[in-house]
Amino acid sequence: GYGHTVPLSDGGKAFCIIYSVIGIPFTLLFLTAVVQRIIVYVTRRPVLYFHIRWGFSKQVVAIIHAMVLGFVTVSCFFLIPAAIFSVLEDDWNFLESFYFCFISLSTIGLGDYVPGEGYNQKFRELYKIGITCYLLMGLIAMLVVLETFCELHELKKFRKLFYVKKDKEEDQVHIMEHDQLSFSSISDQAASMKDDQKANEPFVNSQSPTSNDSSLNN
């Protein structure tokens, strides 16, 4: 939200809260689902193709692909739109137009520059719809680029520097305690099974040898 249009009534503010609580998570889920499907065709398959087809190193191909994708995204969603906005908006120069593109696609949205607010703007409704489509596609492109860079092997190694490392001695102690507990539980189970077997065995009347001999003589 740029902040140039805000609800004033209590009902409008309450509706804005409910709408935002429901709409923002669904928007994030939608963007995540779209990005996960696009990145398969834009990033993973091209890198794998050049790696298998031409035998280049996968890491080198991934770095070059990420740089090319970043350059194309900056050109298509920052430089070219900034030039278009500087022509369509009378009061904007190229720097201000580029500033609007960056503030919008980075989701900062300060609202100090909003396109299509002039009274003499031609085709204002169509212009607003085009800006909405541009912002939606720009957000998806930015997320695809960020996901592509996050999948680089070098950045994964860099992120591991911030992970919490566990001490090996503590891990070994936990493993030994777990093993001791497992062995003791197995031995306890075996002892209880033997006791159950003894309890379930039928009682056999044992006869003394003298009684057997006397029965044979008779």
pLDDT band at 166 (very low <50, low <70, confident <90, very high): low
Average pLDDT of the segment spanning 87-99: 93
Q: Give the per-residue pLDDT at 168.
A: 55
Interatomic CA distance for residues 109 and 201, integer angstroms: 81
Task: Judge whether 161 lies within some domain.
Answer: no
Task: Judge whether 200 lies within some domain.
Answer: no
Task: Judge whether 217 lies within some domain.
Answer: no
User: How far is CA 214 from its chain centroid?
Assistant: 88
Interatomic CA distance for residues 159 and 20, integer angstroms: 32
Residue 138 has pLDDT above 60, yes or no: yes
Average pLDDT of the segment spanning 2-29: 92
Task: Judge whether 63 lies within some domain.
Answer: yes
Number of domains in the chain: 1
Give the mean pLDDT of the chain.
81
Task: Judge whether 183 lies within some domain.
Answer: no
The helix-helix angle for 94-105 and 80-88 (nearest 10°) equals 120
Tell me how long the chain is.
Answer: 218
Q: Which residues contact 117 (CB under 8 A, 6 or more apart)?
A: 4
Quote the domain boundaries for residue 72: 10-155
Return the higher-pLDDT residue of 71 and 123. Answer: 71
Q: Give the per-residue pLDDT at 14.
A: 96
Task: Judge whether 160 lies within some domain.
Answer: no
pLDDT tens for 55-65 read 889 999 999 99
Task: Judge whether 49 lies within some domain.
Answer: yes
Token representation of residue 112: 């100090």
Task: Judge whether 194 lies within some domain.
Answer: no
Token representation of residue 170: 């503590």
Q: Give the per-residue pLDDT at 204.
A: 43
Residue 111 has pLDDT above 90, yes or no: no
CATH of the domain at 21: 1.10.287.70
Q: Give the per-residue pLDDT at 215.
A: 43
